């Protein structure tokens, strides 16, 4: 399998990206990597050239570039060339830690939607607290700002495919994020989506779930509109980051006592941070496209790159995308 | 000033409610309390009868009653009688820790909206991390499931009045919760709301704010639709609760070492919990009604009741509601 890597995307590129690829190469000798970016820079971090091809380009998309414009105008940017490679069948998937909006645009306009999937959704596997091996797939996390009820049903199908094929969850439970668990609760959007989800026999719909319960593993797949999904994800991340930093400040303010306490609780504190870190599940997938298009955090390090390559490897190995294509081709327009 | 108290609302009623009232009585000898509920039960916890009137009723609204039906059918429920007292001018404000939906319905249908306020919003003062004395007012937290752009402008005005008059914040900064800070970001709703907020010269609009930054104090007032507000609040609460419980489990799993570490970090851990606890700012206000209608958590204890009474006292003292009435009466319908 061939993965097109935007080696220039992210705060620590190309170093973190290339180092991550070197780690992933050890795990998966069956992957051929195409690294798009500045050859001289990339070469610095290559420790083993086997299965590595560098496609040199000087152009790259900056984190503050306007996404759609950037994709259209910077025709030789590393991200654009990587997406083109997927479109042309020269690569099977694309990976980037760069400008999220630009990658979404590259995914939609270059790689392209699966026929009959109206609005691909941005999906991540988020953590279930106290159960490090578990997680839940949530979408849309912000690929779209406005969604129709029908889109949420597509997200349910997409998320169920992912949970079952890629994460190996049998008969994944699908929850609808709502402002109460009762059937009658919700906005116009979620009330209508509830009806459609309940009527769809291809998914295992378990009803409404509330944001407060998400991290407790109430569902294997959680669907919501992109605006709410984005706000919920950022609320979870913001709260977790704030609490970790509150704790750090509080410990430091306790002087020697704090240092000793922190030393004794080192494993416990580390475990807590670890539980919140969901990068082990991989990056965010723009799901519903003709090939895996994966984004990791811009501040990503080599380990997160490695986990994301593992995720892409599983997506390609399980053929989740071709199976989705087949499912949706059987559907009427 | 007279406060109508639904003594039967909440998981620990009437004990926690009456005990809280007893505490608040010491702070504010100028408040006359009307306690609605089972006289015999209430009397058990009354330690000083001065400024206390009990209005006996056997009926109460349960936490799982359907809100609007309950308000209409249980005409002598403690919550309904308390709301009626406000409507009839016998009390100046109502306080309950009971069924949230029912209190919202009682507020809207019995106490009534301020003229020209289309959709009252549920508002809480949420914590700013690292600055225990600060907070930000966020609304709508779920009184409405669907909002129009114009409602968000009303929330901005309501929140600004509250921040300025009740919390004593000069020229409060209003932020619009959005999926990016750039002006062009957002859903149809937030894009239109952005335009309207930017054009309103009576408020100090500072632009879009993201959910990740909320707890860092990026604005004094944050406006959003009720569906998103509800999801964001529950995400913050759920994440905070989960992290505290993760930490507890992790500490316990470390045995003696964990116990010693926790002992040394007692202040630090307590401080962290304290920072996340925003009950010191009071309860949630259904704001935009003709009188203060305040809700605290069902699991509330006497301290939270005391803080909420203090909040109501400030609302009445500063006459924030009459000032809002005056502001909105000057507006065209």
Query: What's the longest Cα–Cα distance across chain B?
Result: 68
Cβ of B265 within 8 Å of Cβ of A268? The answer is no
- What are the tens digits of pLDDT across the range B185-206? 999 999 999 999 999 999 999 9
Option in A210, A251, A272 nearest B268 (CB): A251
Q: In whole angstroms, give the CA distance from residue B33 to residue B109.
A: 23
Count of other CB atoms within 10 angstroms of residue A204: 18
Cβ of A231 within 8 Å of Cβ of B179? The answer is yes
Report domain B1-116+287-332's class. Answer: alpha beta
CATH 3.40.718.10 region(s) of chain A? 1-116+287-332, 124-277
Q: In whole angstroms, give the CA distance from residue A74 to residue A82.
A: 13
Mutation target vs B (from A211, A226, A244, A269; most B CBs, 10 A cutoff): A211
Residues in chain A with CB shorter than 8 Å from the CB of B250 are 265, 267-269, 271-272
Identify the pLDDT of residue A255.
86
**Average of pLDDT values for B83-99?**
97
- What are the tens digits of pLDDT across the range A134-168? 999 999 999 999 999 999 999 999 999 999 999 99
With helix as H, strand as E and coil as C, how does B215-228 read?
Answer: HHCCCCEEECCHHH
- CATH number, span B124-277: 3.40.718.10
Q: CA triplet A112, A118, A122: central angle to 5 degrees?
A: 70
Cβ of A238 within 8 Å of Cβ of B272? The answer is no
Q: What is the DSSP string of A7-23?
A: TT-STTTTHHHHHHHHH
Lowest mean per-residue pLDDT among A135-144, A217-226, B258-267: B258-267
For the cut 60, the answer to whether the pLDDT of residue B143 exceeds it is yes
Q: Which residues pair with B4 in a beta bridge?
A: B34, B94
For the cut 70, the answer to whether the pLDDT of residue B41 exceeds it is yes
Count of other CB atoms within 10 angstroms of residue A297: 16
Cβ of B265 within 8 Å of Cβ of A265? The answer is yes
Q: In whole angstroms, give the CA distance from residue B17 to residue B35.
A: 9
Rounded to two decimals, the ipTM of the complex is 0.94
- Phi–psi pair at B289, nearest 5 degrees: -100, 170
Q: Which residues pair with A122 in a beta bridge?
A: A286
Q: Which residues pair with B287 in a beta bridge?
A: B121
Identify the pLDDT of residue A284.
96
- What are the tens digits of pLDDT across the range A83-108? 999 999 999 999 999 999 999 999 99
Total-model pTM: 0.94
Confidence of residue B249 (pLDDT cuts 50, 70, 90): confident
At B294, is the secondary structure helix, strand, or coil? strand
Q: In whole angstroms, give the CA distance from residue B81 to residue B36.
A: 7
Q: In whole angstroms, give the CA distance from residue A295 to residue A285.
A: 6
Beta strands (DSSP E) in chain A are: 2-6, 32-37, 52-56, 93-96, 121-127, 135-139, 173-177, 204-209, 221-223, 284-287, 293-295
Contact A166, A318 (CB under 8 A): yes
For the cut 90, the answer to whether the pLDDT of residue B3 exceeds it is yes
Picking from B279, B324, B281, B269, the residue whose alpha carbon sits closest to that of residue B299 is B279
**Average of pLDDT values for A7-35?**
96
For the cut 80, the answer to whether the pLDDT of residue B333 exceeds it is no
Cβ of A254 within 8 Å of Cβ of B238? The answer is no
- What are the tens digits of pLDDT across the range A273-284? 888 888 889 999
- What are the tens digits of pLDDT across the range B12-37? 999 999 999 999 999 999 999 999 99
Q: In whole angstroms, give the CA distance from residue A238 to residue A276.
A: 11
Picking from A208, A274, A290, the residue whose alpha carbon sits closest to that of residue A240 is A274
- Phi–psi pair at B32, nearest 5 degrees: -100, 125
Q: Put the strands of the sheet holding B32-37 in their side by side order.
A: B52-56, B32-37, B2-6, B93-96, B293-295, B284-287, B121-127, B135-139, B221-223, B173-177, B204-209
For chain B, report the end-to-end CA distance as a whole number of angstroms. Answer: 31
Contact B103, B316 (CB under 8 A): no
Mutation target vs B (from A210, A265, A298; most B CBs, 10 A cutoff): A265
Cβ of B188 within 8 Å of Cβ of A253? The answer is no
Q: Put the strands of the sheet holding A284-287 in their side by side order.
A: A52-56, A32-37, A2-6, A93-96, A293-295, A284-287, A121-127, A135-139, A221-223, A173-177, A204-209
Q: Are strands B52-56 and B32-37 parallel, antiparallel or unpaired?
A: parallel
Residues in chain A with CB shorter than 8 Å from the CB of B248 are none
């Amino acid at each position: 399998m061939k993965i097109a890597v935007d080696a220039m995307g992210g705060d620590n590129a190309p170093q973190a990206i290339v180092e991550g690829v070197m780690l992933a190469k050890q795990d998966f000798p069956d992957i051929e990597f195409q690294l798009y970016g500045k050859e001289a820079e990339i070469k610095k971090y290559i420790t083993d050239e086997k299965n590595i091809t560098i496609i040199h380009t000087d152009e790259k998309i900056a984190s503050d570039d306007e996404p759609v414009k950037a994709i259209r105008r910077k025709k030789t940017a590393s991200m654009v060339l990587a997406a083109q490679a997927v479109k042309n069948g020269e690569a099977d998937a694309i990976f980037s830690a760069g400008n999220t909006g630009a990658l979404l645009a590259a995914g939609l306009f270059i790689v392209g939607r699966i026929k009959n999937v109206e609005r691909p959704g941005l999906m991540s596997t988020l953590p279930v607290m106290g159960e490090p091996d578990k997680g839940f797939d949530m979408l849309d996390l912000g690929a779209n700002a406005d969604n129709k009820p029908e889109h949420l049903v597509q997200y349910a199908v997409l998320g169920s495919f992912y949970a079952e094929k890629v994460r190996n969850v049998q008969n994944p439970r699908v929850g609808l994020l709502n402002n109460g668990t009762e059937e009658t609760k919700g906005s116009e959007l979620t009330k209508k989506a509830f009806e459609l989800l309940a009527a769809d026999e291809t998914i295992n719909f378990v009803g409404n779930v509330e944001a407060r319960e998400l991290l407790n593993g109430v569902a294997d797949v959680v669907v919501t509109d992109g605006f709410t999904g984005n706000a919920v994800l950022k609320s979870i991340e913001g709260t977790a980051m704030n609490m970790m930093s509150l704790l750090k400040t509080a410990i430091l303010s306790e002087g020697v006592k704090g240092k000793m306490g922190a030393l004794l609780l080192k494993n416990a504190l580390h475990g807590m941070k670890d539980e919140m870190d969901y990068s082990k599940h991989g990056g965010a997938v723009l799901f519903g496209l003709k090939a895996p298009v994966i984004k990791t955090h811009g501040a990503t390090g080599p380990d997160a790159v490695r986990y994301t390559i593992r995720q892409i490897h599983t997506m390609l190995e399980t053929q989740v995308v071709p199976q989705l294509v087949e499912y949706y081709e059987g559907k009427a327009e």
